[in-house]
Every structure is written in structure tokens, then in C-alpha cells.
Amino acid sequence: MLTEIALHSLPYSITRRLVDLMPFETVVTFSKIDSETKWLTERRFYERPLIQESSTELLQRNTCLSATDSLVVHFETLSEADQVTPRIGGTYSTVTSSGDYSWRHAMKLVHPKVTHCRWDGHFHLDEADHCEFVEELFKVIVKQRITITLFLTESFSQKLQLAARDITLRNDLADSFQECRVVRFLHMICIFSYHKKNVRACDVRVQRARRALIKQKEERAKTRAAKTKPNRASGSKK
């Protein structure tokens, strides 16, 4: 039978050894639980207000990384990006990525406190992943105020603009959300997500009622469409 053991009831020598044996990605997750776990994992973090290094340099440190203000990282290879991104944590509000990396690596570095994000370099994104990437992007956009800059094709820009146009139909839209704009300058795409700083209770009620009304209209449209299908089928038999 398994029983829960409070972390604070264990001797420090045991908890220290436990933390020392954790994989890097586990240390990052474990440090976010509470103040006690943050204190226990401090020894395994390289913490600075600004971290501005290449993935090779970061791997040579053989430690977890914590940027409290800004994160600037250059990925030398996709393999190094795989190894480095799980080790990165912190409360940074600005992140700039360059080099050789994929959209999945980029998204792993975006947390709720990030307000500015720039993706330069060789940004790997297959056309088959466009829809999934757009969905992951908008999960962030609807929840927090953020500006994202990236360099991709015109076809992808059009998909972003369509998603921004239909954003008010999403069920996960935060009450603070105001507007999303997608602007293209040559090959550069800028995404601006605007949110209210202070949301009043009346504003919340209005926005929820508006979303409920949109949902009702969608359901009515689906019902009408379902009713007309049999009629069309029977008409074609005649």
C-alpha cells in the first residue's frame, strides 16, 4: 500500500539526493510546485536576469537554466534544441530564438508571463503542421497579452489571418481579450494580441453573453442544415 510522505518531513540529505538524481526537464517542472521545491532545486539552476548564449554553451554548463528578465538563445542544431529546451525555465517576459529549431521548440519557451516573442533563423515548420501550429499559437493568444514576430510564407500568413478573424468564436477566449491583429511586412509576420489589464464584472458578463449568443446561432444553423438534407435527398429521388 502506497502512502503519501510530506516533502518537509524527509531529511535534507534525502531530498537533496532526490533532486540531484532528477532529469533536467523534471527539475524544471518540480521547481514550479511551490517555494520549498524552488529552494531545493536552486543548486541545479544557472539563474541570470538575461541569458544570451548558444545551445552549445548552455549544454556545456550541464545545468538547468533560469532567466528572470530576457532569454536570447541561438540553437546550433535541431538535436541541441531537443536537449536544451526542456532545461529552460524562469520568469522571463521576452524571448528571442534563432538558429536551427522547430516550431515545437519555440512554443515550449512561451509561458504565461511572456509578452514579447521573436523567432528568427531557420524556423522548421512543415505545411502538414500548419493547422496544429496555428491552434497552439491561438491557445496562447486568447489567454495573454503578447506580441509575436516570425518569418514565414504568405500562405501561412493567410491561415493566421483567417484564425484571427474567427477568434471570437473560440470557447477558450479569456474575458480580458480585446483584439488580435496579424500584420505582414514582406516576409515578416507580426501578431498582436491585446487584452484588458483590469476586467470589470459587468464586462465579463457581457462577453460571456455574447459568446453564448454566438454559440446559439451556430447550433440553430446546424439544426437547419440537418433538416434540409433529407428534403434534398428525397427531391433527388423524385
pTM to 2 decimals?
0.71
Cα separation values, 132 from 67, 127, 200, Å: 28, 10, 33
Domain-embedded: residue 34: no
Domain-embedded: residue 27: no
Residue 238: predicted pLDDT:
44
Q: In which element (H, E) is residue 195 found? A: strand 188-195
Domain-embedded: residue 2: no
Handedness of CA 232, 234, 235, 236 (dihedral sign): positive
Residue 202: predicted pLDDT:
46
Cell digits for 89?
525555465
Residue 23: predicted pLDDT:
75
Domain-embedded: residue 156: yes
Q: State the residue for C-alpha cell 473560440.
A: 170
Q: Tens of pLDDT along 129-162?
A: 988 999 999 999 999 999 999 988 888 888 888 8
Amino acid occupying residue 90: G
Amino acid occupying residue 71: L
Residue 81: predicted pLDDT:
94
Residue-number span of the structural domain to which 71 is assigned? 47-230
Residue 171: predicted pLDDT:
83
Domain-embedded: residue 18: no
CB neighbours of residue 183 within 10 Å: 13
What is the domain count for the chain? Answer: 1
Contact yes or no for 137/159 (Cβ under 8 A): no
Q: How far apart are CA 209 and CA 168, in angstroms?
A: 12
Domain-embedded: residue 21: no
Residue 16: predicted pLDDT:
76
Domain-embedded: residue 14: no
**Beta-carbon contacts of residue 119 (< 8 Å; ≥ 6 apart):** 97, 106, 148, 149, 150, 151
Domain-embedded: residue 4: no
What are the residue ranges in the chain where pLDDT is below 50? 1-2, 201-202, 238
